Amino acid sequence: MQMFSVTAQYPILVVMNALFGILILIIYKGKSDRSAKFWAWGSFCYALGFFVIAIRENLPASVSFILGNFFTMYVLFLHKYSIEYLAYGKTKQKIWEELFCVCYALLFLFFLNPELNN
């Protein structure tokens, strides 16, 4: 029995998240719903993160580790902003959340990158 590769799912996830973001923007076109915009941008960041992961063989290891991990972590904060705005009608973006995502990506770079561990 042969196992399938997880990397075969990355193009599907890229297209699915990009289309979901476009669909949200089309549905809420002309409306001033910041919640939908946060969610759409989160979908685009998720698609971009999976795109970077899918093409990581063509990028320097440090770039693929930093960008892939940053975008997939930042999505969580964008979706959090969307839910906060939907629930309370306002949200506060904090710089520490973006810095946390950068630190998270750098930790992956330094601790899991085999090129830097040699």
> What total number of domains does the chain contain?
1
Whether 43 is in a domain gets the answer yes
Whether 5 is in a domain gets the answer no
Residues 97 and 77: beta-carbon distance below 8 Å: yes
Q: Which domain holds residue 86?
A: 10-113
Whether 18 is in a domain gets the answer yes
Residues 109 and 65: beta-carbon distance below 8 Å: yes
Give me the tens of pLDDT residue by residue for the chain, a chain 118 residues long. Answer: 455 666 678 888 889 989 999 999 899 888 878 888 989 999 999 999 888 888 888 888 777 878 888 888 889 888 888 888 888 888 777 788 888 888 887 787 777 666 655 5
Whether 1 is in a domain gets the answer no
Beta strands in 1-118 (DSSP E): none
